Chain A
């Protein structure tokens, strides 16, 4: 019954590898987001998709590529991983109407060695 789910929960990988994080929501929401939380706990938005269409890209390196196969899924693919990519990545979703509450997934803890 999880509203927003992410897999994997933990990801440990070597520098230079390519990895993907998956996100699924069963709330029927139209908008999905990816946020990055760094080691200082600062939360910053990375991307937002509305009905499979990219609407926000917050100057994220193009090594990061979101993909939305349908409005219930928003995956994040990261190429050539760097040490600085180590963080917790949160997926979120909200209804189409702006200002609606965002519901967050449990987070994916990525550690790049």
Chain B
């Protein structure tokens, strides 16, 4: 069975602070995929990144960066110089090859960025 744990339920920071959202996953599959989604107050789910289990390279996209470490089964997400518009619920998700592509989501981390 697959499991995704986002231990931080809520995080509050002040604008321009850096913030890291943690994601720890469990799976016995050797081929799997990890995702991050953003859900702003408007409610839609916005895809941020996809990473497969064979690619441990870290990724940077503007103020966003992701640190994938198979040794600790973690796929953490860092926002640098946070902005009020970053306020949202962030979901980490896991998909494995053997499970028809279904994604198992973490419970989400609610990030509030205060001006």
Among candidates A42, A58, A99, residue contacting B95 with C-beta atoms closer than 8 Å: A99
- Taking CB atoms, residues of chain B closer than 8 Å to A104 are 37, 44-45, 47
The answer to whether A106 and B50 touch (CB under 8 A), given A33-B102, A43-B91, A98-B100, is no
Say yes or no: B44 contacts A107, CB within 8 Å. Answer: yes
Within 8 A of B (CB), among A38-54: 40-45, 48, 50
Q: Does B32 contact A (CB under 8 A)?
A: yes
> Please, what's the 1-or-0 string for A19-45, where 1 marks a CB less than 8 Å from any CB in chain B?
000000000000101000000111111
- Expressed in whole angstroms, the Cα–Cα distance for A109 and B107 within the complex equals 19
Say whether, besides A42-B107, A101-B35, A94 and B101 are in contact (CB < 8 Å): yes
Given the interface pairs A99-B32, A101-B35, the reply to whether A90 lies near B100 with Cβ below 8 Å is no
**What are the residues of chain A within 8 A of B31 when measuring CB–CB?**
99
Would you give the 0/1 interface string for B13-54, flagging 1 where the beta carbon is closer than 8 Å to chain A? Answer: 000000000000000000111010101000111010010100
Q: Is the CB of A99 within 8 A of B43?
A: no
Closest to A107 in B: B43
Chain A contacts for B100, CB-based, 8 A: 48, 50, 55-56, 98
- Of all chain B residues, the one with the shortest Cβ separation from A55 is B100
Is residue A1 contacting chain B, with contact meaning CB distance below 8 A? no
Q: Is B77 an interface position by the 8 A CB rule? A: no
Distance of A43 Cα from B108 Cα, bound (Å):
9
Beyond the given pairs A88-B43, A99-B31, A101-B47, 8 more chain A to chain B contacts, judged by CB atoms under 8 angstroms and listed by A's residue number, are A42-B105, A43-B91, A98-B101, A99-B32, A99-B50, A101-B35, A101-B50, A106-B43
**A residues touching B (Cβ–Cβ < 8 Å)?**
31, 33, 40-45, 48, 50, 55-56, 58, 88, 90, 92, 94, 98-104, 106-107, 109
List B residues at the A interface (Cβ < 8 Å). Answer: 31-33, 35, 37, 39, 43-45, 47, 50, 52, 89, 91, 95-97, 100-105, 107-108, 110
A-B contact pairs, 8 of them (CB 8 A): A40-B107, A42-B107, A99-B96, A100-B101, A101-B50, A102-B47, A104-B37, A107-B43
